[in-house]
Amino acid sequence: MYRVVVEKGNLRFSAAHFISFGGKCERLHGHNYAVSVELEGGLTEDRYVFDFVVLKKITRRICDSLDHHFLLPQQSKDLDIKKTDGEWEIRFENRRYVLPAEDVLALPVDNITAERLAEYICGQLVEALHEHDVANLTSVTVGVEETAGQTAFYQRPLS
């Protein structure tokens, strides 16, 4: 089994969020996230796992889609979320946030944790990878670093 990893460089995005947990909700804040991607599998006829350049382009495109947004967990059970004409209203207990729609990226997740971001990015990556020959790949792992020394990983098998 072989493995390739892309990370660092421009595989980053900046975004705002908050996490709800244990009946509480963090303050609104942001991170300069870093993303790493690992593909595992056999070698192709050209003797590589996957083209680094293509993998970086795909990952960069995903990072760009997340960059400079408020990331909204659309499936949250803790938040009261309403989208009105041109804005999102988000409530948690006595807190109320109203954000312009163009600044919000609603994600199909239940919380904006590094773990869920890694899972979301992995799903986006797998969709994009299927536009290429990936018969040799067995798994993809995505890491999302929130801050130096704090990275969450999500691994998904490929078939």
Neighbours of 42 (CB within 10 A): 11
**Is 29 a known active-site residue?**
no
**Is 89 a known active-site residue?**
no
Catalytic residue (one of 7, 25, 87, 115): 25
Catalytic residue (one of 26, 68, 89, 127): 68
User: Who contacts 44 (Cβ-Cβ below 8 Å, separation ≥6)?
Assistant: 50, 133, 136
Residue 63 identity: C
Catalytic residue (one of 7, 87, 115, 146): 146
CA–CA separation, 66 and 107 (whole Å): 10
Contact 78, 84 (CB under 8 A): no
**Is 31 a known active-site residue?**
no
Query: Which residues belong to the active site?
Result: 25, 68, 146
